[in-house]
């Protein structure tokens, strides 16, 4: 492999988007960062970001050893979408800009807003399953390419 080959110079980049960037997208970003390490670049954003993370999402992630408490909800920008190879939406509807060459997926997940940790745990577990499948797909594609 040469220094200018894509496998040497780039790693896949994923952007998780939900409305408030306070629950689902933050949990997904936390799992991806923890499980993929530096193999995949991770971002998250919201179309109408909240002032703070959902405390039940923070607690649910803490239960599985992932600390997302220092994350902050961020506004969705066209730059973040354009810089990402895969954009995964979680209920943001049509507010996500679309760029050619970017893979878009919608994960239909319940919104944890206003729910206790008992209700957030199954959402967290579903997100973990989807993130694990995404990591397998992206790292297989990167090594096969």
Q: What CATH number does the domain located at 14-144 have?
A: 3.40.50.2300
| Residue 97 pLDDT level (bands cut at 50, 70, 90) | low
| Residue 7 pLDDT level (bands cut at 50, 70, 90) | very low
Task: Tell me which of 16-25, 28-37, 83-92, 105-114 is least confident.
Answer: 83-92
**pLDDT tens-place string over residues 62-79:** 999 999 999 999 999 999
| Residue 143 pLDDT level (bands cut at 50, 70, 90) | low
0.85 cut: is pTM over it?
yes
Q: Using CB atoms within 10 A of its CB, is residue 139 exposed (0-12), middle (13-18) or buried (19+)?
A: middle
**Quick one: which of 97, 114, 123, 95 has its CA closest to 31?**
123
Identify whether 18 is a catalytic site residue.
yes
Identify whether 92 is a catalytic site residue.
yes
Catalytic: which of 14, 15, 18, 134?
18
Q: What's the CA gap between 35 and 50, in Å, rounded?
A: 26
Distance of CA 16 to the CA centre of its chain: 3
* Alpha-carbon dihedral 121, 41, 76, 85, rounded to 10 degrees: -110
The DSSP line for 12-47 is: -EEEEEESSSSSHHHHHHHHHHHHHGGGSEEEEEES
* pLDDT score at 92: 64
| Residue 9 pLDDT level (bands cut at 50, 70, 90) | very low
Catalytic: which of 22, 40, 53, 96?
96
Identify whether 96 is a catalytic site residue.
yes
């Amino acid at each position: 492999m040469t220094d200018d080959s894509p496998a040497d110079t780039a790693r896949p980049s994923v952007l998780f988007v939900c409305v408030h960037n306070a629950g689902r997208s933050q949990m997904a970003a936390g799992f991806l960062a923890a499980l993929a390490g530096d193999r995949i670049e991770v971002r998250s954003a919201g179309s109408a970001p909240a002032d703070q993370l959902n405390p039940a999402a923070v607690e649910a992630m803490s239960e599985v050893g992932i600390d997302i408490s220092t994350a902050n909800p961020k506004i969705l920008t066209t730059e973040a979408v354009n810089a990402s190879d895969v954009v995964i939406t979680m209920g943001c509807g049509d507010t996500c800009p679309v760029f050619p060459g970017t893979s878009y997926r919608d994960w239909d997940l319940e919104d944890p807003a206003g729910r206790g940790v008992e209700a957030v745990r199954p959402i967290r577990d579903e997100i973990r399953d989807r993130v694990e499948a995404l990591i397998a797909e992206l790292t297989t594609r990167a090594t096969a390419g």
